[in-house]
Amino acid sequence: MKKNRKELFFEETLKLVVQKGFKGTTLRDIAHKLNFEVANVYNYIDSKESFLEGYLFNTLHEFCEYLDNIMTSSYSPVEKLKFVISKHVQYTIAQPYVVALFIYEWRNLKEPKLKEFEEKRENYIATVNDIIKAGISQGELREMDDKFATFMVMSSMRWLFSLVTNEENNINPIEIEKQMTDFIFKGIGK
Amino acid sequence: MKKNRKELFFEETLKLVVQKGFKGTTLRDIAHKLNFEVANVYNYIDSKESFLEGYLFNTLHEFCEYLDNIMTSSYSPVEKLKFVISKHVQYTIAQPYVVALFIYEWRNLKEPKLKEFEEKRENYIATVNDIIKAGISQGELREMDDKFATFMVMSSMRWLFSLVTNEENNINPIEIEKQMTDFIFKGIGK
DNA sequence: AAAATACATATACAATTGTTAATATTTACA
DNA sequence: TGTAAATATTAACAATTGTATATGTATTTT
């Protein structure tokens, strides 16, 4: 499969932006990395902002759609939660730089896109909260504050990208998913 | 206790930088928020960079010193880990915006400060890893990959600041610490 | 009251930023 | 081969950036 210039542009730019931050990456940085002149950047993107929007909303939509499918299934709360965790882990391992962008750079969106992003993400978390609340009330999860539990579950999964971007080691997605699930459900205690 | 202009400057600037990002906050933004002209900013700080350095290294040093004291104590691994968690929770609740700066903006440090920061932080994590490794080998913690366990424990604690900055509710530090400890040691399962 | 400190302003500058316009060259395909 | 599409260049722009200088006015301390 030949990798054309456009794919290369997006890959390299994504890495650069993750490394130096959105505001910290200039179009000239990007041009330099790809060995061409500044103006050429506009053969690939309409604006710096649109580059960010593209990745952020694609990712968000993919997660939301997947969660929708989980919610309209007949699985139990714990089973649903395991699907959510699986999705996060698998997506993060497949696209760690996109996730890094998602975590670190969403604040650079401009209105009204910023608000749209925040609302959709808030909606996603609220739905995960619904799963956890159901899990507690049905006795599948231990008694605890459901909002805090949701917050902790999301927090746990958020940083996984840095394990993938930093680690030279081979990553086994199946094993990472197992470890992640074990941690969230059983913790590290005995 | 009267709050002088300098304290006010640092408080407001910190909030602004956390909200808009370090690169996204201009000196003119800061001046505008404090109702004075740009040049006046230099009555409080030597440079934009030094503002960041100050907070970041103060925080890092405080955590490192505390961890040193834990390490030279005779507590068991699990007890040590509980002190680490307690420190993170208490500091985060007391200074959520400083923690947010710590998490989000360290990349804006310039060399050689950037490298110094990364090394010290890496060192901190390595020491926490030592605690967890000891905990596992002494049978206080369940059998698992110690590096991944460390990664997960740190990840869990990292985002707590956003709970404090976003929540209008009253935060009970004692209760949050209990919930955090329970999550890390027992997870959310039954 | 005088002196020192804290807090403010106006003005300027060189560098860097994202973006645009006009145009040239290479590559792929009918 | 010829034509369209992809990829490149050079040059310029208006705006914004962090920072510097020189100076003025309150406020506090002596």
pTM of the model: 0.93
Residue B2 has pLDDT above 70, yes or no: no
Residue A2 has pLDDT above 70, yes or no: no
Chain B residues whose C-beta is within 8 A of a chain A C-beta are: 20-21, 23-24, 78, 104, 107-108, 132, 135, 139-142, 144-145, 148-149, 151-156, 158-160, 163, 176, 179-180, 182-190
pLDDT score at B3? 58
Adjacent-strand bridge partners of B141: A189
Domains and CATH numbers, chain B: 1-45 (1.10.10), 47-186 (1.10.357.10)
Residue B168 has pLDDT above 80, yes or no: no
Average pLDDT value for residue range A11-33: 96
Assign A168 a pLDDT band (cuts: 50, 70, 90).
Answer: confident
Average pLDDT value for residue range B138-158: 97
Assign B167 a pLDDT band (cuts: 50, 70, 90).
Answer: confident
Three-state secondary structure string covering chain A? CCCCHHHHHHHHHHHHHHHHCCCCCCHHHHHHHCCCCHHHHHHCCCCHHHHHHHHHHHHHHHHHHHHHHHHCCCCCHHHHHHHHHHHHHHHHHHCHHHHHHHHHCHHHCCCCHHHHHHHHHHHHHHHHHHHHHHHHHCCCECCCCHHHHHHHHHHHHHCHHHHHHHCCCCCCHHHHHHHHHHHHHHCCEC
* Binary contact (B159, A163; C-beta < 8 A): no
Residue A99 has pLDDT above 50, yes or no: yes
What type of residue sits at position B62?
E
Residue A167 has pLDDT above 90, yes or no: no
Q: Is the CB of B108 under 7 A from strand C?
A: no
> Residues with Cβ < 8 Å from A81, sequence gap 6 or more?
A128, A131, A132, A135, A153
- pLDDT tens across B86-125, in order? 999 999 999 999 999 999 999 999 989 999 999 999 999 9
Assign A64 a pLDDT band (cuts: 50, 70, 90).
Answer: very high
Average pLDDT value for residue range A71-88: 98
What's the whole-number average pLDDT of chain B?
Answer: 95
Chain B residues touching A144 at Cβ < 8 A: 179, 182, 188
Task: Specify whether the CB–CB gap between B64 and B120 falls below 8 A.
Answer: yes
pLDDT score at A169? 75
- pLDDT tens across B33-91, in order? 999 999 999 999 999 999 999 999 999 999 999 999 999 999 999 999 999 999 999 99
Which has the minimum average pLDDT: A60-74, B48-62, B106-120, B162-176? Answer: B162-176
Residue B1 has pLDDT above 70, yes or no: no
Chain B residues touching A184 at Cβ < 8 A: 187-189
